[in-house]
Amino acid sequence: MKPFLLAAALSSTASLAVAETWHPDPSHTNVSVTWNHAGFSLQTMQFHEVTGTLDFEPGDIAGAKADFGVVAASVDSGVEALDAELIGPQFLDAQSHPEIRFVSTSVEQTGEMSVKAAGEMTMKGVTKPVVFDIVVHNLGAHPVGGFLEYNQGEWLGMTATATIKRSDFGVDAFIPVGSDELEIVINTEMRAGGWE
């Protein structure tokens, strides 16, 4: 879909006739978290298991509701020993708090192909307000759908970014050697109606 058509679909009352609940494609959804390590490098970890839905009807941005989470124990830094620490009680405490979750409270359009989602994130049993800036890449039929049944239907592709302070959530071990600020980047392709 061309950018001007995408913008029209996001904001126009002449919406696409699709289901309202969108589900992330696990094979094309990536959640990464980046932090500064001792002022020498930027380090990144990823979460491989995602959950959640987006209730969204094109043309009704304000009515959109996001409920998105990751399984804390699915974290992968590329270093096995570090992963064990990250899921332990000093950091994510995945055994007691198995999910990190964001639930939106408001969504507003900020540009032709961008929106802002404010809401509450819960991590390690602490809930705090967080705002995600979202760039919408495409909305409509997936070109791969012409080859694979899995990709048929209506799709939404976007990137969401936010910066949080981990100390706000009680994850304050080794600050400032590992920075307090974390940058979260979510890249996802979502299909209307999911696969149920």
Domain encompassing residue 10: 3-192
Residue 4, pLDDT above cutoff 80: no
Note the pLDDT tens digit of each residue in 44-69: 999 999 999 999 988 899 999 999 99
Cβ atoms 18, 191 nearer than 8 A = no
Our count of domains for the chain comes to 1
CA distance 145 to 135: 23
> In CATH, what number is assigned to the domain containing residue 34?
2.40.128.110
pLDDT value at 193 more than 60:
yes
Tokens in use for 24? 């992330």
Dihedrals φ, ψ of 176, to 5°?
-100, 10
**Residue appearing with tokens 């996802």:** 188
- Residue 8's pLDDT is what? 52
Contacts with 149 (C-beta within 8 Å, 6 or more apart), sequence order:
none
pLDDT digits (tens, 9 = 90+) for 124-178: 999 999 999 999 999 999 999 899 999 999 999 999 999 999 999 999 999 999 9
| Encoded tokens for 74 | 């699915």
What pLDDT shows up at residue 9? 56
Beta strands in the chain (DSSP E): 21-37, 41-47, 50-55, 65-71, 75-76, 99-111, 114-123, 126-141, 154-165, 181-192
By percentage, how much of the chain surpasses pLDDT 90? 84
